[in-house]
Amino acid sequence: MAGPAFRAAAVRVRVPATSANLGPGFDAFGLALGLYDDVVVRVAESGLSVDIAGQGADTLPRDERHLLVRSMRAAFDRLGGQPRGLEIVCANRIPHGRGLGSSSAAICAGLVAARAVTIGGPAALDDEALLALASELEGHPDNVAACLRGGFTIAWTDEDAARAVTLEPSEQVVPVVFIPATEVLTEAARGLLPKTVPLADAAVNAGRSALLVEALTRRPELLLAATEDRLHQDYRASAMPDSAALVGALRAEGIPAVISGAGPTVLAFSDAENADKLLQFAGASFDAHRLQLDRTGATVLPLNA
C-alpha cells in the first residue's frame, strides 16, 4: 500500500501559550494566551534540518530528539508514512519551564504542521484525533486542548481518549503574566503533590471550579472567589516561594491571581482599565506582560503573514 503524498510548498503554523489549572481546575482547565511560537515546515528530498530562534535556541536539540520533531513523526505514523526529509524553522517566544505550555505548544505545532503538509491530512487525522494524539504525547489534555482550540477549555479523558469543550472567555478579562527568570520542571512540581487531600479541600475546589466557568465567561467580578485553590498551589509553594508570595500579595489586594500550570509563572486577571497597573507588582524578580486572550488556537497561516 502506497504511503501518503506530501505538499511541495512549506506550511507555517502558529500556536499559543497556555495556562492550565487556573487555580481550582487542576488538570482540567486551560486558557490560551496571546503569546506565540511559529514553525515553518517543508517536506524535503532527504534528511532533517532544524533551525531554532528565540526561546531554547541555545539548549534545544536540532535532531530527532526535538519534541516538535517527535510529534511530527507520531502524526506521520498515524497518517500512513514518513516523508523523505524535513526542513523545520522554529521561532520560539513562549518561555520554557515556566508553566506557560511550551511543551504543549511544540507538540501541537508538530501535529498540526504534519497534518497540513500531508495531502488529505485533515480528513485522515481530524480534530478529535488530533486532540487525542496530542494528549497522549503530553500525558494530560489540559494545555494541549487550549493550545489546539484557543479560548477557555475544559478537558477530560473518556475511554482512554482526550475530550474537550471550548468556551468563549469574557471580553472584559485581560490576563497579566509574571514570568520569573528561574524554571520549575513540571515533573518536580508534580512530585510535591500528596496522594490524598482532605475531603473539605476537594469540596471547595469542586465548587470553585464550577464558579470559575461562570466567572471567566460571563461574570469576571467573581474571579477572585472562583480562583481559590486548595489542591495543588500550597503544596508546590516550596519549589517557587517568590511566585507563591506574589500570588498571596496580589490576592490580598483583591486581584485574582494563580500559579500558571505547574509554575513558576503567576497569572493574574484584570480588565482593560486596570491591567497596566498590575505591572508594578513585578518588582525585580519577574518580567511582567499584559497579554490578550487567544481565541483561535493552533492555526495554519500564509507564509508571509
Question: Strand order of the sheet with strand 257-259?
Answer: 257-259, 266-270, 174-180, 286-290
pLDDT of res. 205: 97
Bridging pattern class, strands 266-270 and 257-259: antiparallel
Rounded average pLDDT over 239-261: 97
pLDDT at position 240 is: 94
Helices marked H in the chain — which ranges? 67-79, 102-117, 121-124, 127-138, 142-149, 186-191, 199-217, 223-226, 233-236, 241-252, 275-278
SS3 of 178-215: EEECCCCCHHHHHHCCCCCCCHHHHHHHHHHHHHHHHH
pLDDT surpassing 90 at residue 34: yes
- What is the percent of the chain where pLDDT is above 90? 91
Q: Is the pLDDT of residue 294 over 60?
A: yes
Whole-number Å distance between alpha carbons of 161 and 163: 7
Please report the pLDDT score of residue 189 as a whole number: 75
Where residue 33 falls among pLDDT bands split at 50, 70, 90?
very high
The full set of domain ranges for the chain reads: 11-166+294-301, 174-290
3-state class (DSSP) for residue 48: strand
Q: What CA–CA distance (Å, rounded) separates 40 from 304? A: 11
Please give the pLDDT value at position 183.
84
Number of helices (H), then strands (E), in the chain:
11, 11
Q: What is the pLDDT averaged over residues 232-258?
A: 96
Pairwise CA distance, residues 160 & 61, whole Å: 31
Q: What is the mean pLDDT of the chain?
A: 95
Where does 11-166+294-301 sit in CATH, by number?
A: 3.30.230.10
CA–CA gap between residue 66 and residue 46 (Å, rounded): 18
Predicted structure pTM score: 0.95
pLDDT digits (tens, 9 = 90+) for 73-87: 999 999 999 999 999
Note whether 145 and 30 are within 8 A (CB): yes
At the top level of CATH, which class does the domain 174-290 belong to?
A: alpha beta
**64: three-class secondary structure by DSSP:** coil
For cell 511560537, the residue is 37
Please state the φ and ψ torsions of residue 140, each to the nearest 5 degrees. Answer: -160, 155
Residue 253 has pLDDT above 80, yes or no: yes
The three grid cell numbers given for residue 289, joined into one nine-digit string: 506582560
Residue 12 has which C-alpha cell? Answer: 507555517
> Which whole number is the average pLDDT over 36-57?
97
Q: Rounded distance, CA 33 to CA 201, Å?
A: 29
* pLDDT, tens digit (0-9, with 9 covering 90-100), for 134-149: 999 999 999 999 999 9
Q: Name the amino acid, one letter, at 104.
A: S
pLDDT above 60 (res 1): no
Q: Look up residue 281 and give its amino acid.
A: F
pLDDT of residue 305: 59
User: In angstroms, how far is the first alpha carbon of the chain from the final one?
Assistant: 37
The whole-angstrom separation of Cα 211 and Cα 220 is 10
Q: How far is CA 41 from the centre of its chain?
A: 21
Q: Which residue has the higher pLDDT, 191 or 271?
A: 271
